[in-house]
Chains A and B, each alone.
Chain A
Amino acid sequence: DAGVIQSPRHEVTEMGQEVTLRCKPISGHNSLFWYRQTMMRGLELLIYFNNNVPIDDSGMPEDRFSAKMPNASFSTLKIQPSEPRDSAVYFCASSLRGRAGEQFFGPGTRLTVL
C-alpha cells in the first residue's frame, strides 16, 4: 500500500495567489482529515470528511479556505487568496471508520506564502 499521498510536498507562492493542496487517501479508507501544523498553534484539525461528505469544518480558519472531496480517492484543500500567515505544514490523514482514531498521515505539504 502506498499510504496517504500528498502533493505538492513543498509550495512557495506569493501573497494573493491561489493555492491548491491535494490528497489521495489509503484505498478503502472512508474518513479523511485535513490538519495544519504551525509552531505557534501546533496541530489543528481544519476539516473532516466521512464517505466523501464534509462532517465538521469548524476548524477552517476563514472563508479563504475551502475543501472538497469529489470521490473516495481524492481531496483538495484550496486557499484563495493566500496570505503569509497561512504558511504552515498541511497534513492529510485517512482512517477506516470503526478503527476509531487510528489515522494514517501523509507526508505533509510545506506551504510558504511570501
Chain B
Amino acid sequence: AQTVTQSQPEMSVQEAETVTLSCTYDTSESNYYLFWYKQPPSRQMILVIRQEAYKQQNATENRFSVNFQKAAKSFSLKISDSQLGDTAMYFCAFTIIQGAQKLVFGQGTRLTINP
C-alpha cells in the first residue's frame, strides 16, 4: 500500500521569505505522479504543482518549485517570495499511473504567512 507522510503539522514564516514543506512517500511502484494541493480557508482544493516520477527535472510553477528525490522518496515544495495569499493547508498527494489512479494524501501542513 502507498503512504504519504508530511512531518510538519504547522509552519509559519514572514511575508517575502522562502519556505519549504516536506513530504515523503512509500511505494513499490516505479511509475507514478506526485502533487501538491493547496486548501485555503475557503476550503477549495487547488492543484499547485505536479511531478511525473519518470522526469528527472524538478517541476516549477512561478514561485512554486519542488525538490524531487526519487531514490529517497522525497518530494518537498518550495515557495519563494511568500505572500499572504499563500496561507493555507498544503497537501502532498500521490497516484500510480496504472490502475485506479486514486490519490493518496498526506496529513497536510498548515502554513501561515505573517505580514
**Residues on A close to B: CB < 8 A?**
31, 33, 42-43, 45, 48, 50, 55-56, 89, 91, 93, 95, 97, 100-105, 107-108, 110
B95 touches A33 (CB 8 A): no
- Number of residues in B with C-beta < 8 Å to the partner? 24
A105 to chain B, nearest CB (A): 4
Cβ–Cβ < 8 Å partners of A50 in chain B = 100
B100 touches A56 (CB 8 A): yes
Of the candidates B33, B45, B47, B95, the one having the most CB atoms from chain A within 10 angstroms of its own CB is: B45
Interface members, chain B 6-39 (any A CB < 8 Å): 33, 35, 37
Q: With A33-B102, A42-B108 as known contacts, state yes or no: A101 contacts B95, CB within 8 Å.
A: yes
Any A CB within 8 A of the CB of B103 = yes
CA distance A107 to B41 in the complex (A): 11
B33 touches A107 (CB 8 A): no
A55 touches B100 (CB 8 A): yes
Nearest residue in A to B101 (C-beta to C-beta)?
A100
A103 touches B103 (CB 8 A): yes
B102 touches A45 (CB 8 A): yes
